[in-house]
Amino acid sequence: MTDYYEVLGVDRSASDDEIKKAYRKMSRKYHPDIAGPEFEDKFKEVNSAYEVLSDPQKRQMYDAGVDPNDPNGGSGGFGGAGFGDMGDFLNIFTGGAFGGGTGAGPRPRTQPGRDALANVTIDLKTAVFGDTAHVRINTFGLCQECAGTGCQKGTQPTQCPECHGKGFAQRVVRTMLGQMMTTAPCERCEGHGTVIENPCPSCLGHGRVRTTRNVGVSIPAGIGNNTRLRLANQGEVGENGGVAGDLYVDVRISSDDTFTRDGDDLHCWIQVPMSWAVLGHDLEIDTFDGPQSVSVPAGCQPEDTVTLRNLGVTHMNGNGDRGDLVAHVVVQIPTKLSDDERSLMERFAASHDSGASHVSQSARPTAGTKKGFFSKLKDALR
């Protein structure tokens, strides 16, 4: 059995991309138009190796010890090469009496392309409102020189002189049951029924070339982290202009310096002086919708929150509603006081906290048990 890994010069653990790179290198090296007609057989061998190793099912069969390109190798069942259905199975014993040949006819050159996967990272604001992101992908695209035909300009595929367009060949083999007629893909045209005598120099007859392009990705408002989006027909273009596969894009949202996200709500923490919390104060904070006014009520306690309605993340229900923006108040208690400031605070404590006789104690936080500003201030000064 031919060692296809050796033909392409790759290890048995080679990835799909490594196999594709090796194939492009070898096909250019041994193409008859470049290396000369004496390398035509080597060029066919390279194509046969790539046909097997680029197909996951065929590669699995080959790794199991069965060569999918060998007409006598079988494929592990009646569903493989040369055994399309029961009629094909009977054709082996009758020489084609049940419909002739393989029954499937020539294999079309045009094949669908594979799906592609890409990643894109967006900021939190894009997730809130939605936008268009761009990803750069490296995959197969349509060959512009031949428009996917695989032929040089002014030429087209011609009927295979070996199988006369059937795509398969018959031959007699000896078995323990006697001589039998078998069918297999034509080696000259590889089962297509036609041959490309003058392949396109850009794509070497495949109708597609490796290309790098930018793809615009529409990011819906309210998208979640690690969401996968599907872009139909934006993936790999198939052989000889076949329909392109899909492009899947994994969207990741980067952390923000100002806001954190909880579902469709946004949270931020605002630091205010102690006097603002005691007396109340109107201030302005930044939001994704621009500056917004916030009123800190008089007597605001640590860990209190101020909620701005409908300034959070857009709901994905399509009605345009949004979550809330929740501002958590962080009170800045001074740790150093001048003599005059300390005297004022002591006078206030004597007036305000003189009735305090005990400290409330419980196993868990309860409403009304938050420690006041001045209690915290006295703790800090101690």
Measured between alpha carbons, how far is 261 from 224 in angstroms, rounded to an integer?
10
200 assigned binding-site residue: yes
With contact defined as beta carbons under 8 Å apart, do 178 and 200 qualify? no
151 assigned binding-site residue: no
DSSP assignment string, 290-320: S-EEEEEPTTPPTT-EEEETT-SPBPTTSS-
Nearest CA to 313 out of 305, 322, 321, 304 is that of 322
Nearest CA to 59 out of 78, 75, 71, 45 is that of 75
Q: Kindly tell me the burial class for residue 282, based on how many C-beta atoms sit within 10 Å of its own C-beta (0-12, 13-18, 19 or more).
A: exposed
Measured between alpha carbons, how far is 380 from 114 in angstroms, rounded to an integer?
66
268 assigned binding-site residue: no
Handedness of CA 27, 28, 33, 38 (dihedral sign): negative
300 assigned binding-site residue: no
| Count of C-beta atoms within a 10 Å radius of residue 306 | 17
Q: State the binding site for Zn(2+).
A: 143, 146, 160, 163, 186, 189, 200, 203
Q: State the binding site.
A: 143, 146, 160, 163, 186, 189, 200, 203
